[in-house]
């Protein structure tokens, strides 16, 4: 007896369904006279992609599709739904997705040649957290000088981001204890000494993110490496828990020292655990591959899960600037770093005259 009430469709039926939907999107675009219809993962992504596309191609008119019907008839969003259309894309119908680990894993055919845009960072949130963007907000001479339009797309995104359930409360209870005699405090001297001369100065986001990255980088290489050779050894969810950090009342002092200390101890403990558990593992080849793709010890914050990073940054930022989150969503630092330049190049390569 088949107890599964869901209908089952053949590959041919799925192909025909999504092909028909793609034709409809293109027909609607022709009627409206736009440049391209772009299926994005969900409504939250629209502000980011609108800013990027209009920087890359200011004269363009882009129609965003934040959700579409699945073959079961439900309005569906997310990356999987976007990728249902990958066989039907062209110069007038694209998809735009968060890279997650697709870029670093070199997943085939996720590129502009196939009319697929990706963030190159883990997600769009990482771009808003780029250090110069955060520094711009906290260094503003006249905070909140520009009025924030409560009806703007940024305001809607802000509301949606704030509605996400926070994971910070659980983070304070995660101690990540492992067998062994390693003392993580012994590895803290460099962090503490580096803070001695930084008291009573402006918050230095470049220092914060570079320090964050140096601490996370070895674990990230391990996680990506084990993901390919032994996925159960270091699940992605465990890595996400490690970087979900408690942000206390004094988090904005000394360039986030209290947050960086927790991260340092967690990373030290887990790295020691991995080295004890897999003494013969050699991930140097994988580290070289990551470096070749732009992941370095000073910038890997761009490649960790964006939601965790964004949550931590905003919780620190609001202690420095009352409207930190609103202000950081207003701008992106175009042409300032490689990952955002790659997106611009992808857009222009799709639209260049044939």
User: Which range marks the domain in which residue 165 is found?
Assistant: 131-331
Q: Residues 285-323: pLDDT tens digits?
A: 999 999 999 999 999 999 999 999 999 999 999 999 999
pLDDT, position 143: 46
Are both 157 and 113 inside the same structural domain?
no
Contact assessment for residue 198 and residue 204, using Cβ atoms and an 8 Å cutoff: yes
Whether residue 3 lies inside any domain: the answer is no
Are both 81 and 136 inside the same structural domain?
no
pLDDT, position 7: 75
Are both 158 and 270 inside the same structural domain?
yes
Domains contained in the chain, number: 2
Classify 279 as helix, strand or coil.
coil
* Residue 185 CB neighbours (<10 A): 12
Whether residue 6 lies inside any domain: the answer is no
> DSSP per residue over 97-162, as a string?
E--TTTTTTT-TT-SGGGTEEE-SSSSHHHHHT-HHHHHHHHT-SSTT-S---TTSHHHHHHHHHH
- Beta strand pairing call for 68-69 and 75-76: antiparallel
Contact assessment for residue 313 and residue 323, using Cβ atoms and an 8 Å cutoff: no
pLDDT, position 161: 64
Whether residue 212 lies inside any domain: the answer is yes
Contact assessment for residue 121 and residue 339, using Cβ atoms and an 8 Å cutoff: yes
Are both 103 and 175 inside the same structural domain?
no
- 56-69 residues labelled b (16+ CB within 10 A) or e (exposed): bbeeeebbbbbbbe
pLDDT, position 162: 66
Mapping DSSP onto H, E and C, the string for 326-348 reads HHHCCCCCCCCCHHHHHHHHHHH
pLDDT, position 8: 85
Are both 229 and 324 inside the same structural domain?
yes
Are both 120 and 148 inside the same structural domain?
no
Are both 195 and 296 inside the same structural domain?
yes
Q: Residues 171-196: pLDDT tens digits?
A: 544 555 544 444 444 444 556 544 44
Q: DSSP state, 95?
A: E
pLDDT, position 182: 45
pLDDT, position 42: 96
Are both 152 and 101 inside the same structural domain?
no
Are both 119 and 141 inside the same structural domain?
no
Are both 157 and 88 inside the same structural domain?
no
Contact assessment for residue 227 and residue 104, using Cβ atoms and an 8 Å cutoff: no
**Spans in the chain with pLDDT lower than 70:** 1-6, 141-156, 159-201, 354
Whether residue 5 lies inside any domain: the answer is no
E strands, the chain, where? Answer: 36-40, 62-65, 68-69, 75-76, 93-97, 116-118
Whether residue 89 lies inside any domain: the answer is yes
Distance CA 100, CA 98 (A): 6
Whether residue 1 lies inside any domain: the answer is no
Are both 301 and 347 inside the same structural domain?
no
Are both 188 and 255 inside the same structural domain?
yes
């Amino acid at each position: 007896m088949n107890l599964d009430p869901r209908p089952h469709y053949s590959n041919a039926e799925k192909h025909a369904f999504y092909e028909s939907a793609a034709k409809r999107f293109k027909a609607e675009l022709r009627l409206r006279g736009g440049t391209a219809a772009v299926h994005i993962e969900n409504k939250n992504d629209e502000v980011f992609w609108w800013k990027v596309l209009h920087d890359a191609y200011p004269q363009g008119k882009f129609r965003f599709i934040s959700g579409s019907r699945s073959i079961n008839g439900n309005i569906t969003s997310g990356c999987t739904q976007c990728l249902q259309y990958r066989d039907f894309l062209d110069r007038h119908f694209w998809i735009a997705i968060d890279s997650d680990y697709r870029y670093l894993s070199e997943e085939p055919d996720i590129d502009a040649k196939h009319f697929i845009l990706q963030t190159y960072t883990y997600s769009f949130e990482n771009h808003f957290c780029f250090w110069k963007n955060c520094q711009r907000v906290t260094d503003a001479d006249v905070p909140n000088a520009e009025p924030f339009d409560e009806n703007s797309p940024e305001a809607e995104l802000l509301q949606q981001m704030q509605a996400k359930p926070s994971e910070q409360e659980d983070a304070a209870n995660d101690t990540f204890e492992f067998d062994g005699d390693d003392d993580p405090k012994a590895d803290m001297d460099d962090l503490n000494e580096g803070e001695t001369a930084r008291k009573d100065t402006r918050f230095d986001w470049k220092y914060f993110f570079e320090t964050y990255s140096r601490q996370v980088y070895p674990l990230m290489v391990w996680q990506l490496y084990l993901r390919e050779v032994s996925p159960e050894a270091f699940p992605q969810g465990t890595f996400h828990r490690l970087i979900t950090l408690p942000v206390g009342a004094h988090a904005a002092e000394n360039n986030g020292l209290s947050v960086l200390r927790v991260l340092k101890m967690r990373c030290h403990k887990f790295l020691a655990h991995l080295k004890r558990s897999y003494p013969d593992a050699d991930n140097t080849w994988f580290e070289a591959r990551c470096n070749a793709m732009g992941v370095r010890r000073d910038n890997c914050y761009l490649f960790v899960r964006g939601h965790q990073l964004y949550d931590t940054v905003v919780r620190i930022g609001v202690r420095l600037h009352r409207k930190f989150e609103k202000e950081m969503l207003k701008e992106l630092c175009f042409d300032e770093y490689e990952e955002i330049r790659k997106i611009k190049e992808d857009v222009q390569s799709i639209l260049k005259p044939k």
